[in-house]
Amino acid sequence: MTGSDYVLEAEGLTKQFRGFYAVNGVNLKVRRGSIHALIGPNGAGKTTVFNLLTKFLDPTSGRILYNGEDITRSGSAAIARKGMVRSFQISAVFPQLTTLENVRVALQQPTGLTHKFWKAEKVLDSMNEQAMGLLEAVGLQDFARVHAGELPYGRKRSLEIATTLALDPEFMLLDEPTAGMAHEDVSRISALIKRVSKDRTILLVEHNLSVVSDLSDTITVLQRGEILVEGDYETLTNNPDVREAYMGTGHA
């Protein structure tokens, strides 16, 4: 019942900031191969859960298992190398590198080239084709040589997804990938997430409920750091607590 069914299992995950519980006793299981959405009002603790799972924050208490392995004490970089890669809510690109170079930063990681300070950066050109493929997947092929800092906001988010995908992660955590995007960008990203979910697991924080209902197999609703309810979209829309706590607040 462990390992094989669930990519991720968090037990009693808790984070306290100066006496305030941002995340409190969260038990979260993410089924292998599924798209699992984490929703909830602003300040519910969704980003903090991401930070805990990827060890950008140390949990006050609780346990995290990734593929059955206890990663509660692992470092962020080590977790990424195991195949669990996150994106950030606040756009995280490398502004002074080109769009192509941004993706190559990720492609370079598994190659073992990184410590080679005596090699010319031309060796990285061998990744250009793969990087272009990833840029095409998110519709950025025409911007390959543009500095990432010059991209409009929505395209920065697309670039971030391309960079995350470049690691071909088994488990991908996306923090509000469509926030601030224009409508047509939202549908492109939503379609992209669906497409790349074929051979991986995705945990998604998302405010856009039509995206959530479109994509998610399972939805967990977080409120004030605690899980309010979990289920598929159908179950949730019929749940009076959810209606009041979440959908009633005008997010729909």
Partner 1 sequence: MTAAKENTQTMSTGQKISNALSDRRVHLAGFGVGILLIAIAPYLGLYPIYLMKLLCFALFAFAFNLLLGFVGLLSFGHAAFFGMASYISAHTIKVWGFTPELGVAAGTLVACVLGLAFGSLAIRQRGIYFAMITLALAQMVYFFALQAPFTHGEDGIQGVPRGELFGFIDLSQTMNLYYFVMAVFILGFFIIYRAIHSPFGQILKAVRENESRVTSLGYNVTALKVGAFTLSATITGLAGATKAVVFQSATLTDVHWSMSGEVVLMTLLGGMGTVLGPLFGAGIIVTLQDYLAGMGSWVTVITGTIFVVCVLTFRRGVVGELTRMLRIHS
Ligand X SMILES: Nc1ncnc2c1ncn2[C@@H]1O[C@H](COP(=O)(O)OP(=O)(O)O)[C@@H](O)[C@H]1O
Question: Which of 7, 64, 106, 172 lies at the binding interface for partner 1 (CB under 8 A)?
Answer: 106
Q: Is 48 in the site for ligand X (CB under 6 A)?
A: yes
Say how far apart CA 131 and CA 166 lie, in whole Å: 8
Of 1-9, 38-46, 115-123, 196-204, the window that binds Mg ion (rule: CB under 5 A) is 38-46
Contacted entry of Mg ion, partner 1, ligand X, none for residue 219, CB cut-off 5 to 8 Å set by kind: none
Q: Is 152 in the site for partner 1 (CB under 8 A)?
A: yes
Q: Is 47 in the site for Mg ion (CB under 5 A)?
A: yes
Q: Is 182 in the site for partner 1 (CB under 8 A)?
A: yes
For partner 1, the binding residues in 192-251 under the rule CB under 8 A are none
For ligand X, the binding residues in 11-40 under the rule CB under 6 A are 17, 22, 40
User: Smallest distance from the beta carbon of 146 to ligand X, in angstroms?
Assistant: 30
Tokens of 5: 């069914």
Contact present, 39 and 245 (Cβ < 8 Å): no
Which residues neighbour 182 within 8 Å (Cβ) at sequence distance 6 or greater? Answer: 154
User: Which letter does DSSP use for residue 94 in this model?
Assistant: -
Contact present, 28 and 13 (Cβ < 8 Å): yes
Question: Which of 10, 28, 35, 44 lies at the binding interface for ligand X (CB under 6 A)?
Answer: 44
Q: Is 113 in the site for partner 1 (CB under 8 A)?
A: yes
User: Smallest distance from the beta carbon of 33 to ligand X, in angstroms?
Assistant: 25
Site string for partner 1, 158-177 (x = CB under 8 A): -----x---x----------
Tell me the three state secondary structure of residue 30: strand
Say how far apart CA 101 and CA 232 lie, in whole Å: 39
Residue 159 buriedness (CB in 10 A; 0-12 / 13-18 / 19+): buried
User: Smallest distance from the beta carbon of 22 to ligand X, in angstroms?
Assistant: 3
- According to DSSP, the residues that pair with 26 across neighbouring strands are 13
Contact present, 26 and 49 (Cβ < 8 Å): yes
Give contact residues for ligand X (rule: CB under 6 A). Answer: 17, 22, 40, 42-48
